[in-house]
Amino acid sequence: MSDNKHGHVHHSKSTRDILNAETVLAAAGLKSGDYFLDAGCGDGFISIAASKIVGDDGKVCAIDVYPQSVEMVKEEIQKGGISNIEATVADITDKIPLKDDSVDICIMANVLHGFVANDEVQEVMGEISRVIRPEGTFAVVEFIKSEGTRGPPYNVRISPDEVEDLLINYNLKTTETREVGKYHYLVKAVNEK
């Protein structure tokens, strides 16, 4: 049983063993000095990798609705002596606790399908669009839509075309779609607001 308002049943299943964070971040174009948002960070393995790339001049904001996920990230931060990550409990369908146009790159990994299934796309994408700066990048990582592979049930998976169609409604224009592992694809979009 989950503790968010609609209950996404796949919460807390980490994909760190099948999804390479460095591959994802390179595909998204993350670089030194960027302000990076990991929206729905889970156990934070992408945030931890991002902190090394953005360096001392950059910042990583790791957000998840589940307090236990954020606690895991905070433990990693403390163990690693990492100073450029802020891990926060927040419901991104309600309010992302960041200023307008403050994020260079946002990644949402293995999360968007849950918002689609729960009919929360409008709320979450309105917030994502608000915090990404003009010409900033939004990258969606999702499980490839095929049956019999690891990940969520086939009926809740979303295809790259479905992601692209969804993003255009929020001034996010797709610039690239590519595989980022055996089970995942990434759709990269630029904020045209």
DSSP assigned state of 154: G
Structural domain harbouring 115: 21-191
Angstrom distance (rounded) from CA 144 to CA 73? 26
Establish if 4 belongs to a structural domain.
Answer: no
- Total domain count, the chain: 1
pLDDT tens digits, 131-144: 999 999 999 999 99
Confidence at 158, pLDDT banded by 50, 70, 90: very high
Closest alpha carbon to 173 in 137, 146, 147: 137
Does residue 10 lie within any of the structural domains? no
d(C-alpha 106, C-alpha 64), whole Å: 13
pTM: predicted TM-score of the whole model, two decimal places? 0.92
> CA 173 → CA 26, 41, 44, 157, 177, distances in Å?
19, 23, 27, 21, 11
Residue 148 lies in a domain: yes
Tens of pLDDT along 33-76?
A: 999 999 999 999 999 999 999 999 999 999 999 999 999 999 99
Is the separation of the CB atoms in 111 and 38 below 8 Å? no
Is residue 16, in this structure, part of any structural domain at all? no
Q: Are 62 and 85 in contact (CB under 8 A)?
A: yes
Residues 145-168 have a mean pLDDT of 94
pLDDT of residue 14: 64
Overall residue count recorded for the chain in this entry: 193
Judge contact between 87 and 62, C-beta under 8 A.
Answer: yes
Is 9 inside any structural domain?
no
Is residue 82 assigned to a domain? yes
In a domain, 80, yes or no: yes
In a domain, 15, yes or no: no
Q: Identify the CATH number of the domain in which residue 41 sits.
A: 3.40.50.150
Predicted confidence band of residue 149 (pLDDT cuts 50, 70, 90): confident
